Amino acid sequence: MTEVTPLPRHVAIIMDGNGRWAKKNKIKIALGHRTGVEALRAIIRESSDIGIEALSLYAFSTENWKRDPSEVEALMGLLLEFFTSEIDELDEKNVCIRILGDKDGMPQKQRLALINAEERTKNNTGLKLNIAINYGGRAELVRAARSLAAKAAAGKIKPEDITEKTLSDELYTRGLPDVDLLIRTSGEMRLSNFLLYQCAYAEFLFPTVLWPDFSLEDYHQALEAFAHRDRRYGGRNS
Ligand code: FPP
């Protein structure tokens, strides 16, 4: 495949459409999600191979707990399976895993698997793989505001010390570049509370393909489309 430049430093993906894919194929939703995991494995590998710096995937939002208990259970099972079965390969590939979201609100087994994945890969220097689990963008901002308020109340900082940098340092994505490219599959055109602060200048792409069908070719097309975007950050390019 020809090399696409410039590559986005940070790609974020909302992997939407597993349910519709299952319905279309007349199979159970859980199998739709399972096929979705296959798609995400391929995208992680490719991102690592082509040198994407950071990849953020929306796996489970704070709102997803409202789904049918059997679907939540299936997703929890897939998460546990993923973090148990993929960890060796990801570690070998020098991938550094970070969980975005509230791990403490997760069931115990999953919580331990997430902590283990982060611990085991924390010194890896390759792809920064961020998986958003029990994540909400507004909750992330509230958490950051509370932390800064606590520091101010303790006299450690003054209100005027709070800058975009100190605020972003309180986010789960601390130290990562802003999102350059956000892809949401299935044709839905919403951010759904994902990386609200980090997407301030992101380019958005909404391919209509359902997530389990999202192929490496689709990914390369998205990267190609990104490479042709004219990014102005509020300024003017002559
Ligand atoms: C959206 O499809 C997808 C999700 C809510 C979950 C995404 C999760 C995975 C791909 C698997 C688990 C992740 C890991 C890291 C193992 P939807 O069900 O909302 O689709 P629909 O809109 O067609 O119903």
Q: Is the CB of 12 under 6 A from ligand 1?
A: no
**What positions carry a catalytic annotation?**
16, 64
C-alpha of residue 159 to centroid of ligand 1, in Å: 40
Spell out the domains of the chain, with CATH numbers in brackets: 10-136+180-226 (3.40.1180.10)
The model's pTM: 0.96
C-alpha of residue 16 to centroid of ligand 1, in Å: 6
Q: DSSP string of 67-133? A: S-HHHHHHHHHHHHHHHHHSHHHHHHTT-EEEEES-GGGS-HHHHHHHHHHHHHHTT--S-EEEEEE
Q: Is the CB of 15 under 6 A from ligand 1?
A: yes
C-alpha of residue 65 to centroid of ligand 1, in Å: 12
pLDDT of the residue at 4:
78
Give Cβ neighbours of residue 93 (< 8 Å, ≥ 6 apart). Answer: 45, 48, 126, 127
Q: What is the mean pLDDT of each run of 10 residues along the chain (238 residues)?
A: 82 98 98 98 98 98 96 98 97 98 98 98 98 98 98 96 97 98 98 98 98 98 95 75
Residue nearest (by alpha carbon) to ligand 1 atom 1: 16
Residue nearest (by alpha carbon) to ligand 1 atom 13: 59
Angle between helices 108-121 and 69-85 (to 10 degrees): 30
